[in-house]
Chain A
Amino acid sequence: MEKKKSFYLKIEKDLSQDFRVEVELTLPLFPSSLIAIFGPSGSGKSTLLRCIAGLDIPDRGIIRVGEELWLDTEKKINVPPYKRSIGYVVQEEALFPHLKVQDNVSYGLKNQLKLTQAEARDKARQALRKVGIEHLASRWPQTLSGGERRRVALARAIAREPKLLLLDEPLNGLDFKSKEYLRQLIEEIASENGRLTVLISHEKTEIIQMARFVGIIDRGKLLQLGELREVFLQPETVEVAKIIGIENIIPGEILDIINGNVRMKTPIGLVEAVLKENMGKIISGKKVFCVFRAEDLSLCKPDGVSAPAGGLQGFSVRNRFIGIIKKIKVNEGFAQVFIDCGMVLTALISHNALFEMKIKEGDSVCSLLKAGGIHLIERDF
């Protein structure tokens, strides 16, 4: 990536004796991009964001935005937060309680962008208009709803036209309507030229809807960074697969490759997967994990299929596993079915399907899985 048009970060920071944040990444600045850093609570997401903002100082590291060097611990360069071109929205909004909405948004603009009072006011108005709350300009922050406060915080962040927009759980704790509105707004703002938006979240759905790039972080380490589709469909490690919520992770050993399909021996029986480019070197005897989502697993009554294992006559589906239902968990919109087939598999089916199939715990059921729905990850043990 061209230096001029990229954001580079490499930081190390010890938070405690056995917890260290260690991240290196390069991201494009042009035309614009939105990267979501996804990981469980306490994984180091916020520390990463605070280091970018300059609020935390890494023990060692480099942060470069285009040709501007913000941090280089070796050269003893550390640009203070107020000289970095950032817009930072925190979960708590942190609106100044002694300033009206308008003054909250125009706060610091005069100094930062070298504007006159009137110009700063216009800029603030523009930002408020953009987030759709110009009519709240003369209100006190304490009188606003949660969604409105979040929008003021966003307006304050974008009014200064930052190169980097940092969003810490921007949709957390909002009602559905505010979430939807804000989500679209963030996407729109993030698409502006030359801007990098870094968003951190522990909500998978938020990320899938918004981000172009995703970074998966856990225990302070960046496990995988890539385009959204790539990371969610082809996790590189089992840790990533677990964090992005892939329910079924089955250890297996490759037997052979027949007509572009890989066959594996696993605790749930013979599994057949379509060979894909990203699966690395596939040779027989290699140990892998078969990874597939619960929604890719279909269920049918065991008497509905009668065919030898490893192949189903009259069906395009290549895999079937017969097992006993251990548990059925009914959630909003769908039901999770846990089936013991030698290892417990999780399937996701609709309420209607559950109702029509009349299955219950203890029943025998057949799980069907298309060979194309399986992703393979290498394993060393």
Chain B
Amino acid sequence: MDWIALWLSLKLSFWTTICLYLLGIPLAYWLSFGKKRKWKILVDSIVSLPLVLPPTVLGFYLLILFGNSGIGTVYSKLFGKSLVFSFEGLLIASIIYSLPFMVQNLAGAFSLVDSKLIEASLCCGESQWNTFFKVIFPLSLQGFLRGTVLSFTHTLGEFGIVLMVGGDIPGKTRTISIALYDQVEGLNYQGANTTALVLLLFSFFVLFLVYSTSNSQWKRKNLFI
């Protein structure tokens, strides 16, 4: 078991989720409550791209982007180091890769909040900002939970994009899924088995927890009453 890789993966997942809150909440809010419909469709499509794109495609473009052109150059001028094959580069890639999981869950939950309640809050003297924290947030907890868990576990399990952007540097960019690949490559089947099992159980446990707290998403309500 490669504990360093596991720790790196958990760290990456944690920071990815935190950054996704910062990026995803305003984006989901705008998608649910904003007025510009045309732009919404465009943004929604872009945000959802990672769902259908092979991770290697995304990884390839990010590699190019992080390299000696554009963002990569600016970043290395500012911070004196390269984005490619670094934890920061990995973080940015993970954020983009898991963005739909956060945004779609949040936007879905936000748009289920009755607009009458939001208006009632405004009429009770609470600003839009306060209304978000006092009404919208508590009523979309379920979406937050799902968005958080799916982003976290999705990042934990990513492979192709990590390999493309981050490579395989122990302690720096070698995540648990890459460690697993290495173990298989090195014919260390016993080690691979432990790693795979840990990942499997962890993911299953977390998903089970989420779905058991939210009453099943497939349950039809009031159909047979």
- Residues in A whose Cβ lies below 8 Å from that of B134: 107
Which A-chain residue is minimally distant from B126 (CB atoms)? A108
**A–B Cβ pairs within 8 angstroms, 7 of them:** A80-B127, A81-B123, A90-B116, A96-B117, A108-B121, A109-B125, A156-B120
A107 and B123 in contact, given A94-B116, A97-B139, A98-B138 (Cβ under 8 angstroms): no
- Residues in B whose Cβ lies below 8 Å from that of A160: 124-125
Q: Are A55 and B123 in contact (CB under 8 A)?
A: yes
Q: Are B122 and A80 in contact (CB under 8 A)?
A: yes
What is the number of residues of chain B that contact chain A, defined by CB distance less than 8 Å? Answer: 18
- Residues in A whose Cβ lies below 8 Å from that of B128: 82
Tell me which residues from 281 to 337 in chain A have a Cβ below 8 Å from any Cβ of chain B.
none
Judge whether B182 is part of the interface by a CB distance below 8 angstroms: no
What is the number of residues of chain A that contact chain B, defined by CB distance less than 8 Å? Answer: 24
Judge whether A88 is part of the interface by a CB distance below 8 angstroms: yes
Q: Give Cα A95–Cα B130 distance, bound, in whole angstroms.
A: 17
Select A156's contact among B114, B124, B130, B135, beta carbons within 8 Å: B124
- Residues in B whose Cβ lies below 8 Å from that of A54: 122
- Residues in A whose Cβ lies below 8 Å from that of B116: 90, 92, 94
Q: Are A81 and B117 in contact (CB under 8 A)?
A: no
- Residues in B whose Cβ lies below 8 Å from that of A82: 122-128
The 6 A-B pairs of least Cβ separation, nearest first, read A112-B125, A108-B124, A94-B120, A94-B116, A108-B125, A81-B122
Q: Give Cα A95–Cα B124 distance, bound, in whole angstroms.
A: 11
Judge whether A111 is part of the interface by a CB distance below 8 angstroms: yes
Q: A90-B116, A97-B117 are in contact. List 9 more A-B contacts (CB 8 A).
A: A53-B123, A82-B124, A82-B125, A82-B127, A96-B117, A98-B138, A107-B121, A109-B124, A111-B126
Residues of A in contact with B (beta carbons under 8 Å apart): 53-55, 80-83, 86-88, 90, 92, 94-98, 107-109, 111-112, 156, 160
Query: 1/0 contact trace for B135-175 toward A, CB 8 Å?
Result: 10011000000000000000000000000000000000000
Select B119's contact among A55, A95, A97, A112, beta carbons within 8 Å: A55
Q: Are A90 and B126 in contact (CB under 8 A)?
A: no
Min CB distance B123 to A, Å, is 4
Min CB distance B6 to A, Å, is 37
Q: Give Cα A95–Cα B121 distance, bound, in whole angstroms.
A: 10
Which A-chain residue is minimally distant from B114 (CB atoms)? A94
Residues of B in contact with A (beta carbons under 8 Å apart): 114, 116-117, 119-128, 130, 134-135, 138-139
- Residues in B whose Cβ lies below 8 Å from that of A90: 116, 119-120
Q: Give Cα A112–Cα B121 distance, bound, in whole angstroms.
A: 11
A111 and B125 in contact, given A97-B139, A98-B138, A98-B139 (Cβ under 8 angstroms): yes
- Residues in A whose Cβ lies below 8 Å from that of B120: 88, 90, 94-96, 156
Q: Give Cα A220–Cα B124 distance, bound, in whole angstroms.
A: 27
Q: Give Cα A235–Cα B122 distance, bound, in whole angstroms.
A: 38
Q: Give Cα A143–Cα B208 distance, bound, in whole angstroms.
A: 31
- Residues in B whose Cβ lies below 8 Å from that of A86: 123
Q: Give Cα A98–Cα B126 distance, bound, in whole angstroms.
A: 16
- Residues in A whose Cβ lies below 8 Å from that of B139: 97-98
Q: Give Cα A109–Cα B125 distance, bound, in whole angstroms.
A: 7
Q: Give Cα A61–Cα B149 distance, bound, in whole angstroms.
A: 48
Q: Give Cα A98–Cα B141 distance, bound, in whole angstroms.
A: 11
Min CB distance A166 to B, Å, is 8
Q: Give Cα A339–Cα B174 distance, bound, in whole angstroms.
A: 93
Q: Are A55 and B125 in contact (CB under 8 A)?
A: no
Q: Are B124 and A112 in contact (CB under 8 A)?
A: yes
- Residues in A whose Cβ lies below 8 Å from that of B122: 54-55, 80-82
Min CB distance A161 to B, Å, is 11
A96 and B135 in contact, given A90-B116, A111-B130 (Cβ under 8 angstroms): yes
- Residues in A whose Cβ lies below 8 Å from that of B138: 98
Q: Are B117 and A94 in contact (CB under 8 A)?
A: yes
Which A-chain residue is minimally distant from B134 (CB atoms)? A107
- Residues in B whose Cβ lies below 8 Å from that of A55: 119, 122-123
Which A-chain residue is minimally distant from B116 (CB atoms)? A94
Q: Give Cα A86–Cα B119 distance, bound, in whole angstroms.
A: 12
Min CB distance A152 to B, Å, is 11
Which B-chain residue is minimally distant from A97 (CB atoms)? B139
Q: Give Cα A45–Cα B125 distance, bound, in whole angstroms.
A: 23
Min CB distance B139 to A, Å, is 6
- Residues in B whose Cβ lies below 8 Å from that of A108: 121, 124-126
Min CB distance A77 to B, Å, is 18
Q: Give Cα A54–Cα B139 distance, bound, in whole angstroms.
A: 24
Q: Give Cα A111–Cα B128 distance, bound, in whole angstroms.
A: 13
- Residues in A whose Cβ lies below 8 Å from that of B123: 53, 55, 81-82, 86-88
- Residues in B whose Cβ lies below 8 Å from that of A107: 121, 124, 126, 134
